[in-house]
Amino acid sequence: MKKIIITAICILFISQITFAQVGTKGEDRNEEGRPVKEYNLTIEQNEKTLGGVTAKAMSINGSIPGPVLEFIEGDLAIINVINKMDEETSVHWHGIILPNFFDGVPYLNTPPIKPETTFQYRIPINQSGTYWYHSHTMLQEQKGVYGAIIIQPKEKSLQYDKDLAIVLSDWTNEKPMNVLRNLKRGNEWYQVKKGTAVPLSRAIVQGGFGAQLKMWRDRMEGADIADIYYPAFLSNGKKLLEYPAFKPGEKVRLRLINASASTYYWMDFGAGNPMVVASDGVDVQPIHKNRFLFAIAETYDVIVTIPEGQLEIIATAQDGSGHTTIRMGNGKLFPAEKIKPPNKVEMMMDIDDDNMGNQKDGDKPMDERINMEQMNHNAMQHKDTTGDYTHNERMTYFNYNFLKAKEKTTFNPDIPVNELLLNLTGNMNRYVWSLNGIPLSEADNIIIKGGEVTRITLNNLTMMHHPMHLHGHYFRVINENGEHSPLKHTVNVPPMQKVTIEFYNEEYGDWFFHCHVLYHMMGGMARVFSYDTPRDERLENFPVQELIDETDHYYSWGLAVLSSNFSELSFTSSNIRNEFNIRIETDYNQNSELEVSYNRYLNDWVRIYAGVNSENEIPDSYDEFNTVGLAGVKYFTPYMFNVDVSIDHQLRPRVRLDKEILLFPRIFLEGEYEYRADFGWVNDLEENKKSFEGEDEWLIRASYIVSRNFSIQANYNSHYGWGGGLSVRF
């Protein structure tokens, strides 16, 4: 008996230790009488296999996603974040209204968590709903630093039997910095890999050549949806997430969180009479929705009723490149739909019609029209335990009109209103993102005053959706429900559309506002809203510039073209405004040319540069080189031509022109032309005579892209003749 008692005590002791390590350390009350709920979260680097894809990762308490943090409205949350990595980290409490110092944006309002240190967050919980947490340091969120937060209200207002948090995410085996570097260099591999690229041949066959030309005229390759190839999309870390224990008739509150770095999802429910009851943690008037578009960083609470069988929910990546599946219950499957990829040529043609003022689908928003064919193709009649659904009832297009606040959300009309226009802008070719054409690294803070209402028109001038998130505040998303427009912390702004939000200025300090496509934020689409109040003394040794510099890194890449007739090597290192280039060209007869230059971007399309060019003065000999200084201008023109005009210190002008086209799904066609002239303005000046020499060179190259780093190519060069070989990107 004594041994049994000792064993029981040991088991109880061990279980308490384990519980403290992965979750709460127990409850107490602070001096204000609040119940205290304390968690320990340990962030460490390891290798994880999720959805069959293995990658170097960052986990929280050993898992991806991290543990679900549960609170009750009125608690004091104490969260100890332990950094076991060899780099800084941070945690932002997404959607939580909290003291500025604990918001979790490193260097802006919270100190970074240095390696082998612990930071304690103390957050009074004054709200209820579904939220989430994630790293706000560099690209760590992509590597697994995220998890769910559930806050129960003091009094339950909705009827359901069980809670289930589901965290959606995208997963890559690439280093996130390499992903961003690949986007910066303009490599189309991700679109080719996914099969979502639109070659010119397809545009012509489908009657979209005119629309393609107009895209090129506007310096855009085509309609874009998602930038990155992901080998896996996950629900709570799994491609297929199953909960067989749910029983028929049980009502389950699904707390859906889109923690993806750059993926929107079409959510489709096979059954269960899904009722949307909350968005971004705030209750809304319940509404039946079988399908909706789920933006990055949003949360939706959906109550489903388990049918006499297995309820299936499918989250399909917006571009149709993959999906993740949730199944609840047992028995007969009530299948959901995998949304087919949208027709991007049709999208371009619709955009062209929109620009021409041809509103062929009436007054529907553009995003609604471009999904019309997709929805018609995929809509289906089927029966579940809740009844029949017709085509139209199962078709839902993206807008926020289905969200209606339970109470009026308007502000007192006597409160002063400060109106702002923020254009969402970007350069897809260089992957630089901005607001009003200005990236974060070059922008001033947006000053707001306490006691006012800030009203912002978000005008999306790009071809991509942008989920815009404001820290520390809730804003009204103005929709057709007027006084009952919903409150949210993240709002999706569709391509070429406007959305108006407004919020009451009642905080202090500096708050981050940014696109929650992680790679867009890191590309500069962010601002700081500042109440212009004194900075917290605890941040004295943490300059804000460190945060700003994160969005203005130098990214470097290179290309080696190894051909049977000649070879060339190019290398580029660039941040938002500055760029360094090296280019070497050589054949196999002792002819070579080297050019080194520094480029300064004046705007998205124009850069000036200065450099040095050195090449053989005597053909077929390395014995003597002619080295000149040069200066010039490079211009990325409408219809996407690169034009380079320069002159060297001997007053000899040079013009270069090049363009690349995706002709077939994996075949690129590239053309280059160069013309040099020598008017003898320097060499013949002493002899008082004029002479003229002109020389041109041109190249046509076809490349078959095999992988991100390799292409097979064949070319014709006017100097070197026919050749072929391999292109290597690094």
Note the pLDDT tens digit of each residue in 667-706: 999 999 999 998 877 655 445 555 668 889 999 999 999 9
Provide the pairing of β-strand 592-601 with 232-235. Answer: unpaired
**580 & 513 share domain:** no
Dihedral-angle region of residue 25 (phi above 0 means left; psi in -120 to 50 means alpha; beta otherwise): alpha
Is 35 buried (19+), middle (13-18) or exposed (0-12) by CB count in 10 A? middle
**471 & 431 share domain:** yes
CATH assignment of the domain containing 528? 2.60.40.420
DSSP-derived secondary structure for 389-410: E-HHHH---S-STT--BSS--P
**CA 536 remoteness from chain centre:** 31
Distance CA(585)–CA(594), nearest Å, equals 7
Domain contains 388: no
**652 & 564 share domain:** yes
**75 & 131 share domain:** yes
Domain contains 546: yes
Domain contains 375: no
Q: What is the pLDDT of residue 617?
A: 64
- Residue type for position 230: Y
φ, ψ (nearest 5 deg) of residue 227? -90, -25
Q: Is the pLDDT of residue 18 over 80?
A: no
Domain contains 201: no
Structure tokens at 46: 């390891």
Angle (CA) 529-532-536 rounded to 5° is 100
Domain contains 220: no
Distance CA(108)–CA(94), nearest Å, equals 16
Distance CA(142)–CA(172), nearest Å, equals 8
CATH assignment of the domain containing 599? 2.40.160.40
**49 & 115 share domain:** yes
DSSP-derived secondary structure for 643-703: EEEEEETT--EEEEEEEEEEEETTEEEEEEEEEEEE--TTTTTTTT----EEEEEEEEEEE
Q: What is the pLDDT of residue 3?
A: 44
Domain contains 173: no
**709 & 586 share domain:** yes
In sequence order, which residues have a C-beta less than 8 Å from that of residue 534 and are 6 or more positions away? none
Domain final residue, candidates 157, 181, 209 = 157
Element (H, E) at 144: none
Confidence of residue 618 (pLDDT cuts 50, 70, 90): low
What confidence tens digit (pLDDT) does each residue in 262-283 have?
A: 999 999 999 999 999 999 999 9
Q: CB atoms < 10 A from the CB of 554, how many?
A: 13
**568 & 438 share domain:** no
**452 & 583 share domain:** no
Q: What is the pLDDT of residue 643?
A: 97
What confidence tens digit (pLDDT) does each residue in 142-200 have?
A: 999 999 999 999 998 899 999 999 999 999 999 999 999 999 998 889 999 998 889 99
- Residue type for position 7: T
Distance CA(252)–CA(328), nearest Å, equals 10
Confidence of residue 4 (pLDDT cuts 50, 70, 90): very low
Q: How would you label 422-458 residue by residue, b for 16+ Cβ within 10 Å and e otherwise?
A: bbbbbbbbbbbbbbeeebbbebeebebeeebbbbbeb
**565 & 546 share domain:** no
DSSP character at residue 489: S
Calculate the alpha carbon distances from 57 to 44, 85, 431 in Å.
Answer: 8, 11, 25
**457 & 563 share domain:** no
Residue 366 near residue 348, CB atoms below 8 Å: no
Q: Is the pLDDT of residue 641 over 60?
A: yes
**598 & 633 share domain:** yes
Provide the pairing of β-strand 146-152 with 69-72. Answer: parallel
Distance CA(142)–CA(261), nearest Å, equals 6
Structure tokens at 213: 């030309």
209-217 and 344-355 helices cross at what angle (nearest 10)?
70
What do you get for the CA distance between the two ends of the chain, in Å? 69
Domain contains 136: yes
Distance CA(446)–CA(532), nearest Å, equals 9
Instruction: Count up the domains in the chain and report the number.
Output: 3
Domain final residue, candidates 109, 132, 157 = 157
Provide the pairing of β-strand 310-317 with 323-329. Answer: antiparallel
Domain final residue, candidates 133, 157, 181 = 157
Confidence of residue 19 (pLDDT cuts 50, 70, 90): very low
What confidence tens digit (pLDDT) does each residue in 298-350 have?
A: 999 999 999 999 999 999 999 999 999 999 999 999 999 998 888 888 888 87
Domain contains 642: yes
Q: What is the pLDDT of residue 30?
A: 62
In sequence order, which residues have a C-beta less than 8 Å from that of residue 425 and are 6 or more positions away? 433, 434, 435, 436, 437, 461, 462
Distance CA(301)–CA(281), nearest Å, equals 8
Calculate the alpha carbon distances from 374 to 7, 150, 345, 466 in Å.
Answer: 62, 35, 12, 21
**698 & 561 share domain:** yes
What confidence tens digit (pLDDT) does each residue in 78-107 have?
A: 999 999 999 999 999 999 999 999 999 999
What confidence tens digit (pLDDT) does each residue in 192-222 have?
A: 999 888 999 999 999 999 999 998 998 888 7
DSSP-derived secondary structure for 654-666: EEEEEEEEEEETT
What confidence tens digit (pLDDT) does each residue in 53-63 have?
A: 999 999 999 99
Q: Quickly list H helices, 198-296.
A: 200-205, 209-217
**In terms of residue numbers, what domain contains 143?**
24-157
Provide the pairing of β-strand 240-243 with 323-329. Answer: parallel
Is 388 buried (19+), middle (13-18) or exposed (0-12) by CB count in 10 A? exposed
